[in-house]
Amino acid sequence: MKKARAFQKPTHLLIAFSLTLVWLLPSCDHTYLRAIDEMDSYTYSPTFAIPLFNSGLSFDELFLLGELDNIELDEDRMIILSYDARIFSMTADRLFSLPNQNQIINISGITPPPSGSITTDPQLFLITFDQNERLHYVLFDEGVFNLSLESPQMEQDGYQVEVSFRILNSDDGSGQQIQGSASLGDPNPGQTNLAGSSISFGDDSPNVFAVEYTLTFSGNGTPNNAPYTLQLTNSLREMEFDYLEGYIDQISFPIGSADIPLSIFNNSFDGSIYFEDPNIEFFIQNTFGLEIDLITDEISAILANDSIRPITGSAFDTPWRVVPPPDSTYQIINRNNTDLFDITLDSPRRLNYEVSGFTNPDGLTPQRNWVSKESDLAIDMRVNLPLYGRIDYFYLKDTIPAALSELPDELEWIELTAITTNEFPFSVELFIELIDENDVVLDTLFNDQPRLLEAGITDPVTGITTTPSESQTQVLVDESIIGALLKTDKMILNALISTHDSDAGSVVKLLDNYRVNVELKARGKGSFTIDFE
């Protein structure tokens, strides 16, 4: 209570509070306010973790085959890479044509009656060819039969003559014989259109048809110089057939040569893929009514170094006989009849062929040839690479442009982690070289990393994956690598591929339903400076 009374004196308390103020006043500190004004920047450094990708990849997506290749499946859904190409197509007009024909017939000993007409005996018209073609029947798609007359004496003696003709064993398309006429003294020949008309030649007299002429006289001529001779000039022009029968002789024609790219090997750098059953199929569609032999002068594989390896084997010992319709012709070359298997080990980039054709290889036979204007010979080739085999060591290398200068330079580091679950029975090791514009290697990503993909485990008997394999790859992209990325002009992707248990010689099958699931996640630290000025 004594103390309490002491505090009743205000001076004590006032002194106490004054001292408090004295203590507080020196503590004035406005430096922080000035600091806010003077602060230049603030660096913001978050670390984020995000999932980039989580996706299943099919074979097509994994190898970016896209539109280049067809994928076929067998009954087990095994993938067959197919490369299709039409290597030859020939239409009828390129194989056989009807040449123009001329024939002059002189009718002599003509003593014209005052009026009336004279009919001649049938005159033979022979169609000639360079070779041994034999024509038994022709249906014209186009063509003209021309007839012109010449007899100067008769004209001088004042006779007017008109000559009509008809082709025996012919049909103008309406059931009538082909016929026409011409007049003496007419500078233009008489023309008869043959389109739609047909002529049947005798079985024993191919290439020959008969024409009957009728001469009709008129006018007031006097037979001062009788008997007269009348010259009939006949010609067949611009003939195109719609259909013909006969024998077109033995014609040799080139099928040509071309390259067929095999894109799966495009980026192969080293190593081999053992395809158990590579094969090339030929689908030959012949709508000519005759047999044709295909003679393979050469089918070869072009390797990465542009060297050529001819494909040889019993498949090429004899020409391939192409039969007439309705049958079609199919040929296959594989490891049984060629050395194709060995050649695929060299990862050929493309195939090249040189083939020629030869009609009526057995010469003249009782069986007539026939050709229509729609007839053609088409040869399609398909290279099949069934993905059934083994890869001991296959090195793919590809260069891709990569201008990464716009990569945010605020990144301090990125840690990429890929977790894969792989059903494909092959493993993949990957490393990426960063190349600048002067082709200098700046840095390498994924170097000394475990396999990006671990091969799925396969059944040794069927070669089919029974257990998918999981693997995890982690790479730290630090400041130095980011610096390299900023200068990168292109990247070289290097991939080493091998199939499961290839050391033991196991073969595997790639099925269409295999997937590799990739989870790609990233941690990254940024350093963003906010400038206050």
Partner 1 sequence: MTAKNIRILRKGWIILLVFLGINMASNAQQYHTMYWMQGIPQSTFANPGLQPNPNYFIGFPGISSIYTGVSHSGFAPFDLIKKSSDTTFYIDDRAMLAKLKERNYLAFDLSVDILGFGFRAKKKNYFTFGIRERVTTRLGYSKDLLKLAIEGNDGFASRNETANIDILSMDMSHYREFAVGFSRKWTPKITAGTRVKILQGMSNVQFMRTDIGFFTAPDNFNILLNADLLINKSFPFTLAPLENVADREFTALTQDDYINYLINQQNMGVAFDLGISYNPGNRFTLAASAVDLGFITWKSDVENFAAKGELDFKGLDFDQIFTSEDDDDPFEGVTDSIIDLFDIQETTNAYRTAMSSKLFVSAAYNLTRMHKFAVLGKGEIYQGTLYPSLTVSYNFQPINRFGSTFSWSMIHGNIYNFGFGAHVNIFPLQIYMVVDNFFPAMQPHTVQTFTFHFGVNIAAGFGRKKDLTTPSFRWF
Interaction site with partner 1 (CB under 8 A):
4, 7-10, 13, 17, 20, 24-25, 27-33, 35-36, 38-39, 42, 44, 46-57, 61, 419, 518-523, 525
CA distances from 352 to 162, 256, 333 (A): 64, 10, 14
Residue 243 has which token pair?
A: 């259909």
Q: Which residues are paired to 234 by β-bridges?
A: 103, 147
Q: What is the nearest approach in angstroms of partner 1 to the Cβ of residue 316?
A: 41
Asked whether 516 and 428 are in contact (CB, 8 A), the reply is no
Amino acid at 129: F
Among candidate residues 379, 97, 383, the one with its CA nearest the CA of residue 254? 379
Q: How many residues does the chain have?
A: 533
Nearer to partner 1 among residue 63 and residue 129 (C-beta): 63
Nearer to partner 1 among residue 368 and residue 523 (C-beta): 523
Nearer to partner 1 among residue 23 and residue 187 (C-beta): 23
Cβ atoms within 10 Å, residue 493? 16
Dihedral, CA of residue 244, residue 247, residue 250 and residue 251, to nearest 10 = -10
Q: What is the nearest approach in angstroms of partner 1 to the Cβ of residue 282?
A: 34
Q: Which residues are paired to 433 by β-bridges?
A: 444, 492
Nearer to partner 1 among residue 236 and residue 475 (C-beta): 475
Tokens 């990426």 map to which residue? 432
Among candidate residues 386, 277, 392, 285, the one with its CA nearest the CA of residue 336? 277
- Please state whether the peptide bond connecting residue 425 to the residue before it is cis, i.e. omega within 30 degrees of 0: no
Q: What is the nearest approach in angstroms of partner 1 to the Cβ of residue 495?
A: 17
Nearer to partner 1 among residue 53 and residue 393 (C-beta): 53
Q: What is the nearest approach in angstroms of partner 1 to the Cβ of residue 531?
A: 13
Q: What is the nearest approach in angstroms of partner 1 to the Cβ of residue 54?
A: 4
Q: What is the nearest approach in angstroms of partner 1 to the Cβ of residue 317?
A: 46
Amino acid at 2: K
Q: What is the nearest approach in angstroms of partner 1 to the Cβ of residue 284?
A: 37
Beta strand segments in 376-478, E: 376-386, 388-401, 411-422, 426-435, 441-445, 457-458, 465-467, 469-477
